[in-house]
Amino acid sequence: MLNKHEAYCVVGAGSSGIAAGRWLKAYGIPFDIIEREDEVGGNWYYGKPNSSVYRSTHLISSKGMTQYLDFPMPDDYPDYPSHEQVCAYLRSYARTHGLYDNIEFNTSVETITRTPDGLWDVTLSNGETRRYGGVVIANGHNWDPKFPEYPGTFNGVILHSAEYKTPDVLRDKRVLVVGAGNSGCDIAVESAQNAAKTFHSTRRGYWYVPKYAFGKPADVINELPLKLGLPVWMRRIINGMILKVLVGDLRQYGLRKPDHKLLETHPIINQHLTYYMGHGMIIPKPDVAELCGDSIKFADGSIEPIDVLIYATGFKISFPFIDKQYLNWNGSRPDLYLNAYHPTYDNLFVIGLIQPDSGQFWIVDLQS
């Protein structure tokens, strides 16, 4: 066994892992970053097995509200960069901070166990076990698909949004997208542009926010009341008035009225969904009631023939290489202070286990 008791093991070389590495290096703490793929990028490394991005993916938060605190995205990047640009940015960050010398590519972490003296034994895919002084888990949480359970069977093509990459599978088909997350809305829009007919099933009403407001990225506008220190109730009134002007009553598009207050949960960030609904190219539907072979029955009793069913139903938080007992697991996720810090172990951290309203890179920067 290789003894590296003064070093940290960082799991993953995505946006969270390289942020952790950058600050470990800044403070002179030795570390290894273990990465299963052959390059930096994590979820933004398009085409890799654990990447959920599709060919048309762009940031849903603007670059200024996403970038690392001390490493701005290039000036020639658009407001909402593509996945290729984001991946290039992450690799530039890693090169600039000299992290490549610390990254072991094409290697995965198989198991992590705690020793009696409070260190961590990390076994790698090459069979090697190392003893580290600490561990930073940064392998992301958008890679283990979550599927709903509906009665019946479906004869057509079933995909999770994590498997969806290009619109080829949609062309000239009758498509149902289930789920109102940002990926589901993006895929529904792409389906409207390619499929014979597109249906979009959601269980409840949501707030829909366009990417632009008054010629500026919407998250930049949303930041202004925060900078002024306005209370939530006042921001809710201001943002509600803006949405009333920009979007209007969601029921005019066939959507349900939101069943919660603005700012209580994540809004849907999409510029085009309501546009295509208004043109009849995306047909809103309630929750799925039953899979009926070549058709699908909905909660309102309607039945539609469907060729392709896409579940945009999110992901399970999953760390298969470490026992839940070490992560203070509670229900479906670890119970950590600020979603990062273990209440007992001072040498085990989880970076990036967050779902902010805007960009994430600057937040994992602060966590690190």
Is the pLDDT at 355 greater than 90? The verdict is no
Domain count, the chain: 2
Average pLDDT, the chain: 96
| CATH code for the domain in which residue 353 is found | 3.50.50.60
Please state which of the ranges 57-66, 124-133, 335-344, 350-359 shows the lowest mean pLDDT. Answer: 350-359
Q: What is the pLDDT of residues 2-19, one digit of tens each?
A: 899 999 999 999 999 999
Shared domain check, 266 and 201 = yes
Residues 189 and 94 both lie in one domain: no
As a whole number of Å, the end-to-end CA separation of the chain is 28
Q: With cut-offs at 50, 70 and 90, classify the pLDDT of residue 167.
A: very high
Average pLDDT over residues 278-286: 97
Residue 6 domain flag: yes
**What pLDDT shows up at residue 249?**
94
Together in a domain, 91 and 201: no
Digit-coded pLDDT (tens) for 296-316: 999 999 999 999 999 999 999
Q: Residue 356: pLDDT above 90?
A: no
Query: 288-293 and 152-154 as β-strands: parallel, antiparallel, unpaired?
Result: parallel
Question: 326 and 273, same structural domain?
Answer: no
Task: State the residue range of the domain holding 152.
Answer: 147-210+247-311
Last residue of a domain, one of 311, 326, 341: 311
Place of tokens 């409070």: 118
Q: Looking at the structure, tell me whether residues 347 and 262 fall in a common domain.
A: no
- Asked if residue 230 belongs to a domain, the reply is no
In a domain, 275, yes or no: yes
Residue 99 resides in a domain = yes
Q: What is the pLDDT of residue 109?
A: 98
Assess whether 124 and 78 both reside in one domain.
yes
Check whether 357 has a pLDDT greater than 80: no
Two tokens, residue 301: 């009793």
On the 0-12 / 13-18 / 19+ scale of CB atoms within 10 A, 215 is exposed
